Amino acid sequence: MATSFRFKVATASVLAFALSTGAAHARETSKSCHQKFTTARTAGTLNGQSYKDFKTAQCGDAANADTRTAETAAPAASPVAAPAAPAPKAAAPAAAPVSTSATLPDAISAKYSKEAAGKARMHTCLDQYNANKAANANGGLRWIQKGGGYYSVCNAKLKG
């Protein structure tokens, strides 16, 4: 067990070190990019570029630099097609109301009226569930179960 713990600590240490050096490199890169921007601004060679535009154009890695130079070399007259926005997903069909023989409350109990709406519904449903449990009137539903238990059905009824 001690070996397993040591292995976990060593792994966590290596991971933390790897992440911290990457963050330090990113800070240094950002710092040098800002210095480039300041130099270009004082020299007056920005041509109205914001820092964000300058950073994307001048401070990327080597792989991105090649694609950026190809884009800037293309004639400005040819419009660049914007990527098509993904079609919005259709809303999921509403779950069919579960018909149950369980006794459900009609409204939130007055003793929970000062609580938040969600908690008031939960406590009201729980009180009714426990009362039904004593009288065997839960209609075969458990409090929480896969596919929707008593709480799910009761909460939906009180919400709607």
How do residues 80-135 score in pLDDT, each as one tens digit? 555 555 555 544 444 445 567 888 999 999 999 999 999 999 999 999 999 999 99
- Smallest CA-to-CA distance from 157 within 98, 109, 91, 94 is with 98
Cα distance between residue 149 and residue 141, in whole Å: 6
Q: Which alpha helices (H) appear in the chain, and where do they start and end?
A: 2-43, 51-58, 62-73, 117-135, 150-159
What is the pLDDT, as a whole number, of residue 62? 40
Residues contacting residue 93 through CB under 8 Å, at least 6 positions apart: none
**pLDDT of 143 above 70:** yes
Q: What b-and-e string marks burial along 64-77, b requiring 16 or more CB atoms within 10 Å of the CB?
A: eeeeeeeeeeeeee
Residues 154 and 125: beta-carbon distance below 8 Å: yes
**pLDDT of 49 above 70:** yes
Report if residue 12 sits inside a domain: yes
Structural domains in the chain (count): 2
Its pTM surpasses 0.75: no
Q: What b-and-e string marks burial along 45-56, b requiring 16 or more CB atoms within 10 Å of the CB?
A: eeeebeeeebbe
Report if residue 10 sits inside a domain: yes
Report if residue 17 sits inside a domain: yes
Tell me how long the chain is: 160
C-alpha distances out from residue 129 to 30, 96, 117, 141, 142, Å: 59, 22, 18, 9, 9
pLDDT-derived band of residue 144, with 50, 70 and 90 as boundaries?
very high
Q: What does the block give as tokens for 136?
A: 């065997």
Report if residue 96 sits inside a domain: no
Report if residue 79 sits inside a domain: no
Q: 21 is in which domain, residue-wise?
A: 2-72
Its sign, for the CA torsion 109, 115, 118, 122, is: negative
114 and 68 in a single domain? The answer is no
Which domain-ending residue is among 16, 42, 72? Answer: 72
